[in-house]
Structure 1
Amino acid sequence: MADPVPAVLAPAVAVAPPAPYTPDFDSPYYLSTSDHGGVVIVTKPLTGVGDFPSWLRAFRMALEGRNKIGFVDGSLPMPAEDDPTHRFWVRNNAIVGGWIMNSVAEHIAQSLLYVDTARDMWLFLSKSYQQSSAPRKYRVKQKLRDLRQASMDVASYFTAIFAVWKEFKSIRANHSCTCGRCTCLLSKRWNDEDESDFVIDFLFGLNDEYEGVRSHILAMDPPPDLQTAYNLVLQQEQQRLIRPVKPSDAVVFQTSSPSLPEAISAVSSSTFKGKQRPLCTHCGLYGHTIQKCYRLHGFPPGYRAPKSGITASPRPSARSQTKPSNNFANVATDTGCVADVDKLSLNQIHDLCSKINNRLKSSNATITENGAPASDPDTGTFSGIDDWEG
Structure 2
Amino acid sequence: MASSSSTVIDINHPYFLNSSASRSVKIALSARLKLGFIDGSQTQPNDNSALLPLWKRSNDLVISWLLNYVSNDIRKSIVFMQTAKQIWDDLAIRYAQNNVPRLFNLHKELASLTQGSRSITAYFTHFLGLMDELEALAPIHRCVCDVTTCACGVTLKLIQYEQQMKLRQFLMGLNDQFTASRGQIMLISPLPDMSQAYAMLLQDDNQRNSSGGSLSFSHDSVAMNTRVSSAKKSFVTKKDDKKASDVVCDYCSMSGHSREKCFALHGYPEWYRLFGHPKPKIKHNVKKSATANVQSVTQTLQQPDVSSDKSVNS
Per-residue deviation, 1:271: 3.8
Whether 2:14 is the aligned partner of 1:47: answer yes
**How do residues 320-359 of structure 1 correspond to structure 2 at under 5 angstroms?**
none
Paired residues of 1:176 and 1:186 also in contact (CA < 8 A): yes
Whole-Å Cα distance in 2 between the matches of residues 230 and 61 of structure 1?
A: 27
Which residue of structure 1 lines up, in the alignment, with residue 106 of structure 2?
140
Per-residue deviation, 1:75: 0.4
**How do residues 214-229 of structure 1 correspond to structure 2 at under 5 angstroms?**
214-229=182-197
For the structure 1 residues 268 and 147, does the alpha-carbon distance in structure 2 shift closer, same or farther, using more than 3 Å as the test?
closer
Whole-Å Cα distance in 1 between the matches of residues 31 and 162 of structure 2?
A: 28
- The structure 1 residue matched to 2:179, chosen from 187, 203, 211, is 211
Which residue of structure 2 lines up, in the alignment, with residue 149 of structure 1?
115
Larger Rg computed on CA atoms? 1
RMSD after superposition? 3.2
Which residue of structure 2 lines up, in the alignment, with residue 174 of structure 1?
140
Which residue of structure 2 lines up, in the alignment, with residue 242 of structure 1?
210
**If the length of structure 1 is used for normalisation, what is the TM-score?**
0.50
Whether 2:132 is the aligned partner of 1:162: answer no
Per-residue deviation, 1:133: 3.5
For the structure 1 residues 179 and 219, does the alpha-carbon distance in structure 2 shift closer, same or farther, using more than 3 Å as the test?
closer
For the structure 1 residues 184 and 273, does the alpha-carbon distance in structure 2 shift closer, same or farther, using more than 3 Å as the test?
farther
Whole-Å Cα distance in 2 between the matches of residues 188 and 109 of structure 1?
A: 45
SS at match of 1:246: helix
Whole-Å Cα distance in 2 between the matches of residues 159 and 271 of structure 1?
A: 77
Whole-Å Cα distance in 1 between the matches of residues 71 and 163 of structure 2?
A: 35
Letter in 2 for 1:123: D
Which residue of structure 2 lines up, in the alignment, with residue 233 of structure 1?
201
Whole-Å Cα distance in 2 between the matches of residues 56 and 144 of structure 1?
A: 22
Q: Which runs of 5+ in 2 are unaligned?
A: 1-12, 225-270, 275-279, 289-314
For the structure 1 residues 273 and 166, does the alpha-carbon distance in structure 2 shift closer, same or farther, using more than 3 Å as the test?
farther
Per-residue deviation, 1:72: 0.6
Paired residues of 1:175 and 1:190 also in contact (CA < 8 A): no
Q: Which has the higher helix share?
A: 2
For the structure 1 residues 216 and 82, does the alpha-carbon distance in structure 2 shift closer, same or farther, using more than 3 Å as the test?
same
**If the length of structure 2 is used for normalisation, what is the TM-score?**
0.61
Which residue of structure 1 lines up, in the alignment, with residue 160 of structure 2?
192
Q: What CA deviation, in whole Å up to 9, does each residue of 1:221-269 have, x standing for no partner?
A: 4322222221222222123223423344899xxx9979xxxxxxx9897
For the structure 1 residues 172 and 257, does the alpha-carbon distance in structure 2 shift closer, same or farther, using more than 3 Å as the test?
closer
Whole-Å Cα distance in 2 between the matches of residues 187 and 70 of structure 1?
A: 29
Per-residue deviation, 1:59: 1.0
Letter in 1 for 2:204: Q
For the structure 1 residues 83 and 229, does the alpha-carbon distance in structure 2 shift closer, same or farther, using more than 3 Å as the test?
same
SS at match of 2:34: coil
Which residue of structure 1 lines up, in the alignment, with residue 66 of structure 2?
100
**How do residues 6-21 of structure 1 correspond to structure 2 at under 5 angstroms?**
none
Which residue of structure 1 lines up, in the alignment, with residue 169 of structure 2?
201
For the structure 1 residues 80 and 272, does the alpha-carbon distance in structure 2 shift closer, same or farther, using more than 3 Å as the test?
farther
Identify the structure with bigger relative contact order (alpha carbons < 8 Å, sequence gap 6+). 2
Whole-Å Cα distance in 2 between the matches of residues 183 and 212 of structure 1?
A: 40
SS at match of 1:81: coil
For the structure 1 residues 87 and 178, does the alpha-carbon distance in structure 2 shift closer, same or farther, using more than 3 Å as the test?
same
Which residue of structure 1 lines up, in the alignment, with residue 250 of structure 2?
none
Whole-Å Cα distance in 1 between the matches of residues 60 and 284 of structure 2?
A: 108
For the structure 1 residues 146 and 131, does the alpha-carbon distance in structure 2 shift closer, same or farther, using more than 3 Å as the test?
farther
Q: How many pairs align?
A: 219
Which residue of structure 2 lines up, in the alignment, with residue 15 of structure 1?
none
Moved more, 112-121 or 183-192: 183-192
Paired residues of 2:181 and 2:204 also in contact (CA < 8 A): yes
Letter in 2 for 1:173: P
Paired residues of 2:19 and 2:137 also in contact (CA < 8 A): no
Whole-Å Cα distance in 1 between the matches of residues 189 and 205 of structure 2?
A: 23
- The structure 1 residue matched to 2:48, chosen from 75, 78, 82, is 82
Q: Which runs of 5+ in 1 are unaligned?
A: 1-45, 259-265, 275-390
Q: What CA deviation, in whole Å up to 9, does each residue of 1:331-370 have, x standing for no partner?
A: xxxxxxxxxxxxxxxxxxxxxxxxxxxxxxxxxxxxxxxx
